[in-house]
Amino acid sequence: MELTDLARWTPVRLDFSGSVPAVYWADLSAERFAEPFFDQTVARWASKPDARPLVKTGLQALVALDRGPSLEPSGTIFHLSRCGSTLVSRLLGTLPGVVVLAEPSPLNALLGLDSRRVDETTLVTLVRLVVRALGRCRHGDERRLIVKCTSWNVRRRGVLAAAFPDTPWIWVQRDPAQVLASLLAKPPGWLGLQAEPHSAARRFGLDPTAIPTMARPEFAARALGAMLEAAATDPARRLCIDHADLPNAVWERVLPHLGLAADPVAVERMIEESRFYSKDPARLVFTTDQHPPMTDAIHEAAQRFAEPGYRALRF
């Protein structure tokens, strides 16, 4: 296959485990990012009997293919986790011409790289190339691109800001005790980093010698505190949204901040979409009061390590 044949293909995986980094491309030219998360769209495509095999290239393909028509982000969404950010991205995705990339694996792979593997200047260049490749115009009706990041990505927000300096961003948060309860009830992948103190220290700026001695709620709460600290930067282009203000805040505040517009029909469509649980739209109803039971340990850890940062951004 000629490199030019990949012009409308999408990078779905970056592999830095070998001596030579690799990019894996998928022919998503007929697909829409309709699922709540990028990887779910890729999985749906891969399950089709006529899905074409992935094509492996080096990083140089990102440069060679960057000439194609592509969208740069009109906005980025960062969040504290379990706070309604998926609802925000789902509602934005109902707008005609708006493409939402939700927590794409290739971006996570770049932002999770050890600084010893790649210098900051090179990383910024790679992030820009990968986001533009993800935002390639494949259907002809794409007008705006929104990138929703994984929660811990806010600790590397400066890389995205350097890659796209004019892009406004959204910070979505929630009462830290409620977030912490949800995380402990259904742990995300990053919570497992407590077993890898040096990786956890790099990701959240914590003392690696202290991490193994932390109780689970303390480690998670300290990580949330680190995210909140990172979210406190660059207020000029930031809009803070609280879980308690959803879903109305999307059409009342988020759209103007991102330079997007919605007529009454579009708003009604968002209202209807907001009735359903954003991570499983076919099954559950979204409400602002869904959270698992609290414990004293959860309350104490959240209040000590995350509550001050949350309140500073909330009020």
Domains within the chain, CATH numbers bracketed: 3-314 (3.40.50)
pLDDT of residue 279: 76
pLDDT of residue 290: 53
Q: In sequence order, which residues have a C-beta less than 8 Å from that of residue 92 and are 6 or more positions away? A: 98, 100, 146, 250, 254, 258, 260
What is the separation of C-alpha 113 from the centre of its chain, rounded to a whole number of angstroms?
16
Question: pLDDT in tens for each of the 315 residues of the chain?
Answer: 789 899 999 999 999 998 999 999 999 999 999 999 999 999 999 999 999 999 999 999 999 999 889 999 999 999 999 999 999 999 999 999 999 999 999 999 999 999 888 999 999 999 999 999 999 999 999 999 999 999 999 999 999 999 999 999 999 999 999 999 999 999 999 999 999 999 999 999 999 999 999 999 999 999 999 999 999 999 999 999 999 999 999 999 999 999 999 999 999 999 999 998 777 766 555 454 455 788 999 999 999 999 999 999 987
pLDDT of residue 281: 64
Closest by CA position to 73, among listed 95, 98, 106: 98
Place of tokens 């992935």: 54
pLDDT of residue 116: 85
pLDDT of residue 288: 46
| Angstrom distance (rounded) from CA 69 to CA 67 | 7
User: Buried b vs exposed e over 279-304: b needs ≥16 C-beta within 10 Å?
Assistant: eeeeeeebeeeebeeeeeebbebbee
Q: Indicate the length of the chain as a whole number.
A: 315
